[in-house]
Amino acid sequence: MHEQTGCFDPNTMGESVPFLKDNFPQTLPPSPIVVGNTTNSNNNSLEQNLRLSVEELSYNHYYPQHQEDHVSTYVSGVTATSIEIPHPQHLGLNMGNSYINNNNNMDNHLVQEVIDAYPYQLSTWDPATVQELQDIAYANHTEQQQQQQQNEQQFQQIETQNCSQSYNNPSSILDPPYPSPDLLNLLHMPRCSASSLLTNPSICLTNPTQNTPNFQNPMAFLGDLTIGSENTSASSVLYDPLFHLNLPPQPPALRELFQSLPRGYSLPTNSRNGSLFAGGDEMEGDGSQLDMGVLEFNRVTPSVGKGRGGKATKHFATEKQRREQLNGKYKILRNLIPSPTKIDRASVVGDAIDYIRELIRTVNELKLLVEKKRYAKERYKRPKTEEDAAESCNIKPFGDPDGGIRTSWLQRKSKDSEVDVRIIDDDVTIKLFQRKKINCLLFVSKVLDELQLELHHVAGGHVGEYCSFLFNSKIMEGSSVYASAIANRVIDVLDSQYTAAVPHTNSY
């Protein structure tokens, strides 16, 4: 970490000398933040094998990064970029589950960087040649993205494989050398916020500096950025001729000048195919120019909402894209919910609310179970190693107090059956409702025996074409059953028996 920060500083000094002159006194405060990161990384290295402790520490990372977000509002853009570089190392140390949490923090951090750097651009006068180079690099982004559309599916498959590898072999992530965790982190980053307009170009900032030995990797990331870039390319094509005509020569209209100049140069470079490699070199070489590109991208978006020449086509294109994005997001949300009820948006949002509450309860339940398991291990008087001592120290502040009673509630639906599972401490209540007559009582009693649930009370029967049962049972000592396991198991058994019963009815 220290070496990389040391190597990065002279580059920034060489590239952005005027910024450092203006912001020299502000460089001192962020240094303790870097020290804090090093201490966190040391804690992570000690407890790499412990999964729960790392997850709990990831929540620790969540809070100080809030502090970093507050601090970064007062820090200039240059120092913010220096802070961002050690973050991938933390991401590499954390496990696969904490990728998304930290990536969201990264997104917030990157967005605030843009906020900080925006006023500095207005205060300074940039030469036209720098803007030309940025426009060429930015246009090459769009060209490469269009070419990569065909290969998107292949990269998505690679992403899924990486995700599965990270779960199946957690130790393999840490054993190989440093660059491979970065690849996993960067693969996850665009998936979280693939459709957000601002964060896509900002993610490009970190990619070329870290992946300079591998030329193919930035191509993969550029393929994921096609959604955001299509909007910008469409808007740039529509608006260019008008701003040529409307160029005001007066100096107080600086914003309009900044908006108009890059679009003028983007048109001829789009037609050129040979400029891809030149743009790639510029991407890898200079980081500050990409910062400039991000800022100009920010200026483009407010003008979309304003009504200027060519109202109908402009409004129609942007509005249609916005609706398509929103519909796509609703579809993704609906696919995540295990048992959706209806298709309209209000129902999808309602089901999402219920499912989020269910997930929160499930997470709390599982954490309690894990703590009880560890307590049971200690109770059997096994030899305590240093790791066990570390576990006991770390678990207590995060876990619920000892008096907390375990509660959980789940509902699952399939085509012909519904299951409702409630757990209070060690009592389990299962409600079962199924259409069609199958001997539910037999199969459910088998499932209860498999799951080590002691049967206490059963009530129910057949009513017409439906059968309904209520089971009260108690969890045996030593078993670690949780509500989602019970519900999934019961509903799988019922559905499999229902499919098996269909040929049985045909025999009659």
The verdict on 326 binding another protein (CB under 8 A) reads yes
Q: How many whole angstroms separate alpha carbon 125 and alpha carbon 118?
A: 13
Q: What residues from 233 to 292 belong to the interface with another protein (CB under 8 A)?
A: none
Q: How many whole angstroms separate alpha carbon 90 and alpha carbon 440?
A: 51
State the maximum Cα–Cα separation within the chain, in Å, rounded to a whole number. Answer: 91
Segment interacting with another protein, rule: CB under 8 A, options 267-275, 328-336, 395-403, 495-503: 328-336
C-alpha neighbours within 13 Å on the C-beta side of residue 477: 1
**Window 100-129: contact mask with another protein (x via CB under 8 A):** xx--x--xx--xx-xx--x-----------
- Minimum CB–partner distance for residue 201 and another protein (Å): 13
Q: Which is nearer to another protein, 281 or 344 (CB)?
A: 344
Name the nearest CA neighbour of 218 among 294, 277, 265, 288: 277
Look at the block and give the residue holding tokens 């949490």: 101
- Minimum CB–partner distance for residue 218 and another protein (Å): 24
The verdict on 445 binding another protein (CB under 8 A) reads yes
The verdict on 329 binding another protein (CB under 8 A) reads yes
Q: Which is nearer to another protein, 373 or 384 (CB)?
A: 373
Segment interacting with another protein, rule: CB under 8 A, options 66-74, 153-161, 257-265, 307-315: 307-315
- How many residues make contact with another protein (CB under 8 A)? 85
Residue 398, judged by CB atoms within 10 A of its CB (0-12, 13-18, 19+), counts as: middle
- Minimum CB–partner distance for residue 219 and another protein (Å): 25
The single residue among 150, 478, 502, 503 that binds another protein, judged by CB under 8 A, is: 478
Residues 6+ apart with CB under 8 A from 473: 427, 428, 430, 448, 453, 454, 455, 456
Residue 49 host element (H or E): none
To the nearest 10°, report the CA torsion of 158, 160, 164, 167. 110
Q: What residues from 383 to 442 belong to the interface with another protein (CB under 8 A)?
A: 437, 439, 441-442
Segment interacting with another protein, rule: CB under 8 A, options 122-130, 245-253, 273-281, 298-306: 298-306
Strands 466-475 and 453-463: antiparallel
The verdict on 343 binding another protein (CB under 8 A) reads no
Cα-Cα end-to-end distance for the chain: 73
Residue 421 host element (H or E): strand 417-424
**Window 125-164: contact mask with another protein (x via CB under 8 A):** ----------------------------------------
Residue 170, strand partner residues: none
The verdict on 302 binding another protein (CB under 8 A) reads yes
The verdict on 174 binding another protein (CB under 8 A) reads no
The verdict on 330 binding another protein (CB under 8 A) reads yes
Q: What residues from 344 to 373 belong to the interface with another protein (CB under 8 A)?
A: 345-346, 349-350, 352-353, 355-357, 359-360, 362-363, 366-367, 369-370, 373
C-alpha neighbours within 13 Å on the C-beta side of residue 15: 15
- Do 284 and 208 form a contact (C-beta atoms < 8 A)? yes
Task: Return phi, psi of residue 505, to 5°.
Answer: -70, -30
Segment interacting with another protein, rule: CB under 8 A, options 73-81, 134-142, 443-451, 492-500: 443-451
- Minimum CB–partner distance for residue 297 and another protein (Å): 11
The verdict on 97 binding another protein (CB under 8 A) reads yes
The single residue among 30, 96, 181, 208 that binds another protein, judged by CB under 8 A, is: 96
- Minimum CB–partner distance for residue 276 and another protein (Å): 30
The verdict on 318 binding another protein (CB under 8 A) reads no
Q: What residues from 188 to 207 belong to the interface with another protein (CB under 8 A)?
A: 192-193, 195-199
Residues 6+ apart with CB under 8 A from 74: 26, 29
Strands 417-424 and 407-413: antiparallel
The verdict on 61 binding another protein (CB under 8 A) reads no
239-247: long-range contacts, CB 8 A cutoff, minimum separation 24: 239/263, 239/303, 239/308, 239/310, 239/314, 240/264, 240/266, 240/267, 242/308, 242/309, 242/310
- Do 113 and 72 form a contact (C-beta atoms < 8 A)? yes
Q: What residues from 488 to 507 belong to the interface with another protein (CB under 8 A)?
A: none
Q: How many whole angstroms separate alpha carbon 184 and alpha carbon 187?
A: 5
- Minimum CB–partner distance for residue 386 and another protein (Å): 18
